[in-house]
Amino acid sequence: MSSGERDVRRDTDRGGRLEGKVVLVTGAAQGIGAACARRMASEGAHLWLNDLSPTLGDLVDALSEQGVRVRGEQGDASDVGFVNAWVERCVAEWGRIDVLYNNVGISRNGLIGELSDADWHDQQRLTLDTVFYATRAVLPHLVRGGGGSIVSMSSGAGIGGNYGLGGYAAAKAGVINLMETVAMEYGPQGVRANSVTPGPTATAPLLAYLEQLPGGMDAQVAGLDLQRLTRPEEVAEIVLWLASDESSSVTGTCIRSNIRAASHRPI
């Protein structure tokens, strides 16, 4: 078992920061999503997971073996019908929702003048629509339950643009703005909404991509604030904090970490 896949059973000396809370996670099968699911499970969360990949079942099985209350459904988070039904099934089985973590997103390389319609629409659909559909679906349940937390994955590209990834950058900027608007509209009902920009993160696809670029890994991380990639487990700690009551007064905020200065071309 790797450090990223360690036994997630809660350390009772620390206490469960999400003890008994029902947490929905999209894009949970691997990478950042899986790291966040494991970390929140370690703090006592009941997990209702989703991913398009069938490997989601491996994570669900592993967590179940460790005593975590968890369900997983394979499906397309950009399909509004699936998302609505997925949320309703959670409420029907577990009675409420406390936290939503939106993790789905994709990027396509290409200068703005060269992007195809398909590439543009796919990035908006999978990166921004997925956040909107899940957020809209859970809001009535969060309000009915007296409040809760929505955390959505954005990107440094959504703050300062991203050379060659303009469609992705536009979608991620939309994620930040959407969370700020939800915070404004639903804060009086106890709903908090925040976003996270983790910086380039050491997931398998990104590692493989960076090694193919000129200069390899060292050249690509040289301009980052920390001059290294962020680890998925580091992102999970930020998401956990925003999901928990420890950040009970934090809303409408984008937590920025380890991104390049605006004068550089970001990864």
pLDDT of residue 211: 66
When divided into structural domains, the chain yields a total of 1
- Residue 37 included in any domain: yes
Residue numbers of the domain that contains 70: 17-201+231-256
| Within a domain: 238 | yes
Q: What CATH number does residue 50 fall under?
A: 3.40.50.720
**HSE, side-chain direction, 13 A CA sphere, residue 24:** 33
pLDDT given for residue 107 in this prediction: 87
In a domain, residue 252? The reply is yes
Q: Cα–chain-centroid distance for residue 49?
A: 12
Is 6 among the domain residues? no
Say if 11 falls within a structural domain: no
pTM over 0.75: yes
Burial class (CB in 10 A: 0-12, 13-18, 19+), 232: buried
Does 197 map to a domain? Answer: yes
Mapped to the 3 state alphabet, what secondary structure does 7-68 carry?
CCCCCCCCCCCCCCCEEEEECCCCHHHHHHHHHHHHCCCEEEEEECCCCHHHHHHHHHHCCC
pLDDT at 198: 81
Residue 207 lies in a domain: no
Could you read off the pLDDT of 177-214 as tens digits, one per residue?
999 999 999 999 999 999 998 867 556 666 666 666 66
Is the residue at 106 inside a domain? yes
* Low-confidence residues in the chain, pLDDT < 50: 1-4, 10-14, 261-267
Catalytic residue set: 168
pLDDT value at residue 203? 66
Longest Cα–Cα distance of the chain, Å, equals 56
